[in-house]
């Protein structure tokens, strides 16, 4: 609903309100599931999972009572007001218009991609028809290594011959029958309890869900714009554009391990009580109480410290909890075609901030349970953007009807130039060198940030070199000596970390997207000639040059490192944890468990293409 009021001849006001409904996804037969933490029930004393917390869409034959066909409970609608005003003051001969406006805009929260979580401990469960992919709605087919057959000599399958085990039937031709009338409660039988996790290397089930309580994401947009037309062929526009986003969807691990300590153990009072927190199994050492280190499926005692026993630490919930902001100054000058010249120029000075950019399957920040620490420049932020386009039509030098005029008249030169800041980036490491106390070396759902060393800033960490010519110069874009490993002291966190474990790492604080790739420049030009044959027929010749100056635009330098190069979850007691004397080629001056960040700051890709030249001839009629 919207209306416009003409307050006075030079001032108009527009106001309206919009009702948005973006209901959750449903499936005809209710083949959707979700997770309700309030229903989950684990008895510590008897080590029994009494309720898995899994719920099924209400329109399923075995749907969970009281659950809707979408499984969602959060508000999926919103009322969005908006208002705008335009004023044409009398000064400058009515050549000025000032506009302002603001409004709320809702967006769909639940998307198809949120049903497909990222890689987690070798499995991806969820999908648009999740109950067809998740236990107990499917049977698990496995192939022990001892019975594997190498199809065509190198592809492991479960068949005894090429005919029985191939890419079409990787688990052989004799498959288990599907479960008979499965229910959500059947999942209790598949989730490993603490005993299975501790003694039988039980593999937890990874789960990906869209949080039931999510509300619709929305943005509040506002603008202030001034437009001036000093003459008929020239317009100048300057304005401010901004918005604030709320309830933005972010992938958050809902089962991240707790910190267990002697004063605050996990599984307290049960036979598998955990008094310490560790992601590594330290060889040749024991815990403070003399008991041995454990090695759970996801490393250390990770799977015995999670809030929901039986589910993987890497289980994801897409939560509408993020915030973002955008503020920009925009200037545009447009000279329309006159005297054979047309020019347009636009400049934007802006800053985009958020906690997660795009529809990520991975959380790109620090501790995912503290989203505000990840607030920083968005992945797509570009501080400066300048666009320039032009058209120059050469005057006619000969009579149009003459043979000479057919060749020398009708030429035009046109082009486009773009200058823009590079995109920001972080240095990340998911090998266990960051956040090992939570995910050991099995972090498949976050991209933890490598922190700067004490005394280093983002400016000091950049060398001034591009990193593109490392093989020739040995210089990288980033100084590896300016980065460190966020080691937690042995016996730290109030005694939570075993005193024999100096290898554990935590998360960084801040420092997301504090680096920026090189400035990008590009210019394209085209020379055109129109040959008029008759009134309704013409030939158009074009000579196009893309990337006129053959300027290289570099991609982000190498920013993904593995300081635990072999994802080793079994350090040996007495080994020095951290490297020293890190050089650009990844070498170090000592022997240590963690290694220097090899490949850091080296550019291996460019953006766009080298100069390309083409000619074309088009017949228009």
Q: Which CA distances in Å does 619 have to 347, 393, 425, 533?
A: 37, 20, 47, 10
Report the pLDDT averaged over residues 67-90. 95
Q: Which residue has the tokens 């200037």?
A: 331
Separation of alpha carbons 550 and 256, rounded Å:
49
CA geometry: angle at 151 spanning 147 and 156, to 5°? 50
Is the CB of residue 599 less than 8 Å from the CB of residue 612? no
In the chain, % helix, strand, coil (3-state, to 5) comes to 10, 35, 55
pLDDT tens track for 176-199? 777 777 788 888 888 999 999 999
pLDDT surpasses 80 at 343: yes
Q: How many CB atoms lie within 10 A of CB 478?
A: 24
Q: What is the pLDDT of residue 397?
A: 82
Between CA 313 and CA 363 the distance in angstroms is: 14
- Sequence-separated (6 or more) residues with CB below 8 Å from residue 426: 364, 447, 449, 450, 511, 512, 513, 514, 515, 559
Closest CA to 232 of 99, 98, 95, 345: 95
- Identify the pLDDT of residue 574: 96
Instruction: Measure the CA angle with vertex 311, ends 307 and 316; round to 5°.
Output: 85
Tokens of 146: 């001892």
Q: What are phi and psi of 8, to 5 degrees?
A: -135, 170
Confidence (pLDDT) at 124 = 46
For 583-612, give one letter per residue: b (16+ CB within 10 A) or e. ebebebeeebbbbbbbbbbbbeeeeeeeee
Sorting pLDDT into bands at 50, 70 and 90, what band is 146? Answer: low
- The residue-averaged pLDDT of 395-420 equals 86
Average pLDDT, the chain: 90
Answer with the residue of higher pLDDT: 488 or 91: 488
Task: Say if residue 403 is exposed, middle or buried (CB neighbours under 10 Å; 0-12, 13-18, 19+).
Answer: exposed
**Chain segment 95-105, per-residue pLDDT in tens:** 999 999 999 99
The whole-number pLDDT of residue 132 equals 53
* Per-residue model confidence as pLDDT tens digits over 232-281: 999 999 999 999 999 999 989 999 999 999 999 999 999 999 999 999 99
Instruction: Give the model's pLDDT for residue 30.
Output: 86
Residue 141's pLDDT band (boundaries 50, 70, 90)? Answer: low
Residues 6 or more apart in contact with residue 47 via CB below 8 angstroms: 193, 194, 195, 270, 271, 272
pLDDT given for residue 110 in this prediction: 84
Whole-number CA gyration radius for the chain: 31
What's the CA dihedral at 197, 202, 208, 211 to 10 degrees? -30
Pairing of strands 316-338, 553-554: unpaired
Q: 127 with 112: CB under 8 angstroms?
A: no
Alpha carbon 178 to chain centroid distance? 36
Q: Cα-flanking dihedrals φ and ψ of residue 473, to 5°?
A: -105, -20
Class of residue 491 by CB neighbours under 10 A (exposed 0-12, middle 13-18, buried 19+): middle
At residue 485, the pLDDT reads 97
From the number of C-beta atoms within 10 Å of its C-beta (0-12, 13-18, 19+), residue 239 rates as middle
Cα–Cα distance list, 533 to 395, 398, 400, 404, 537 (Å): 19, 16, 11, 14, 5
Give the least confident one: 32-36, 49-53, 107-111: 107-111
Residue 130 has pLDDT above 60, yes or no: no
Tokens 């000093």, located at residue? 230
Place of tokens 């506009």: 99
Q: What confidence score (pLDDT) does residue 134 get?
A: 65
For residue range 325-342, what is the model confidence (pLDDT) as tens digits? 999 999 999 999 999 999
C-alpha dihedral sign at 285, 290, 292, 293:
negative
Place of tokens 């993904």: 560
Interatomic CA distance for residues 435 and 447, integer angstroms: 10
Query: Are 193 and 53 spatial neighbours (Cβ–Cβ below 8 Å)?
Result: no
Report the C-alpha gap between 303 and 279 in whole angstroms. 10
Mean pLDDT value across residues 441-455: 92
What would the mean pLDDT of 400-426 be, rounded to a whole number? Answer: 89
CB of 619 closer than 8 Å to CB of 607: no
Q: CA 583: distance to chain centroid?
A: 30
**SS3 of residue 81 by DSSP:** strand
pLDDT above 60 for 466: yes
Give dist(CA 360, CA 371) in Å, integer: 14
Q: How far apart are the first and last CA of the chain?
A: 46
Peptide bond into 122 cis (omega under 30): no
- Count CB atoms within 10 A of the CB of residue 532: 15
Q: Phi then psi for 406, rounded to 5 degrees?
A: -65, -25
Lowest mean pLDDT segment, chosen from 285-294, 355-364, 392-401: 355-364
pLDDT class of 387 with cuts at 50, 70, 90: very high
Q: Given a cut of 60, is residue 118 above it in pLDDT?
A: no
Classify residue 316 by burial, with Cβ atoms within 10 Å: 0-12, 13-18, 19+.
Answer: buried
- Residues 497 and 507: their CA atoms lie apart, in Å, by 15
Dihedral of CA 432/435/436/438: which sign?
negative
Which candidate, 60, 61, 64, places its Cα nearest to that of 30? 60
């Amino acid at each position: 609903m919207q209306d416009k009021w003409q307050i006075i001849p030079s001032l108009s006001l527009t106001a309206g309100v919009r009702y948005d409904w973006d209901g959750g996804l449903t499936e005809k037969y209710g083949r959707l599931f979700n997770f309700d933490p309030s229903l989950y029930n684990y008895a510590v004393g008897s080590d029994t999972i009494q309720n898995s917390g899994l719920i099924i869409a209400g329109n399923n034959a075995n749907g969970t009572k009281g659950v809707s066909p979408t499984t969602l409970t959060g508000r999926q609608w919103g009322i969005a007001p908006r208002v705008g005003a335009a004023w044409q003051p009398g000064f400058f001969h009515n050549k000025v218009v000032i506009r302002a406006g603001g409004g709320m805009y809702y967006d769909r929260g639940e998307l198809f991609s949120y049903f497909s979580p990222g890689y987690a401990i070798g499995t991806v469960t969820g999908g648009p028809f999740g109950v067809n992919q998740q236990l107990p709605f499917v049977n698990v087919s496995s192939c022990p290594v001892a019975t594997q057959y190498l199809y065509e000599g190198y592809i492991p399958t479960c068949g005894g011959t090429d005919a029985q085990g191939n890419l079409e039937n990787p688990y052989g031709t004799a498959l288990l029958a599907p479960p008979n009338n499965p229910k959500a409660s059947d999942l209790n039988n598949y989730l490993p309890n603490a005993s299975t996790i501790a003694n039988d290397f039980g593999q937890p089930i990874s789960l990906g869900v869209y949080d039931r309580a999510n509300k619709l994401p929305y943005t509040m947009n506002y603008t202030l714009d001034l437009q001036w037309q000093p003459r008929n062929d020239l317009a100048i526009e300057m304005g401010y554009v901004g918005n604030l986003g709320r309830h933005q969807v972010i992938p958050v691990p809902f089962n991240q391990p707790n910190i267990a300590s002697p004063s605050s153990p996990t599984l307290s009072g049960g036979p598998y009580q955990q008094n310490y927190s560790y992601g590594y199994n330290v060889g040749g050492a024991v815990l403070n109480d003399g008991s041995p280190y454990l090695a759970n499926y996801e490393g250390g005692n990770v799977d015995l410290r999670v809030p929901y026993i039986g589910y993987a630490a890497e289980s994801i919930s897409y939560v509408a909890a993020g915030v973002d902001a955008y503020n920009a100054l925009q200037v545009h000058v447009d000279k329309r075609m006159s005297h054979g010249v047309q020019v347009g120029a636009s400049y934007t000075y802006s800053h985009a901030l958020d906690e997660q950019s795009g529809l990520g399957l991975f959380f790109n920040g620090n501790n995912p349970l503290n989203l505000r620490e990840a607030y920083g420049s968005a992945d797509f932020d570009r501080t400066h953007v300048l666009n320039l386009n032009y058209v120059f039509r050469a005057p006619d030098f000969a009579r149009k009807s003459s043979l000479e005029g057919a060749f020398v008249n009708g030429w035009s030169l046109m082009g486009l130039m773009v200058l823009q800041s590079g995109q920001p980036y972080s240095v990340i490491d998911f090998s266990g060198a960051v956040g090992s106390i939570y995910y050991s070396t099995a972090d498949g759902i976050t991209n933890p940030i490598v922190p700067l060393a004490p005394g280093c800033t983002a400016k000091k960490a950049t060398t001034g070199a591009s990193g593109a010519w490392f093989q020739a110069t040995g210089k990288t874009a980033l100084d590896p000596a300016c980065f460190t490993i966020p080691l937690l002291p042995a016996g730290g966190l109030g005694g939570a970390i075993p005193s024999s474990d100096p290898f554990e790492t935590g998360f960084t604080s801040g420092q997301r997207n504090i680096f920026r790739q090189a400035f990008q420049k590009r210019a394209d030009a085209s020379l055109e000639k129109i040959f008029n044959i008759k009134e309704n027929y013409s030939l158009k010749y074009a000579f196009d040059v893309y990337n006129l100056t053959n300027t290289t635009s570099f991609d982000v330098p190498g920013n993904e490192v593995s300081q635990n190069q072999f994802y080793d979850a079994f350090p040996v007691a007495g080994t020095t944890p951290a490297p020293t004397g890190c050089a650009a080629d990844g070498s170090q001056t000592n022997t240590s468990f963690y290694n220097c960040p090899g490949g850091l700051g080296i550019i291996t890709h460019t953006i766009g293409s080298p100069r390309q030249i083409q000619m074309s001839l088009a017949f228009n009629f």
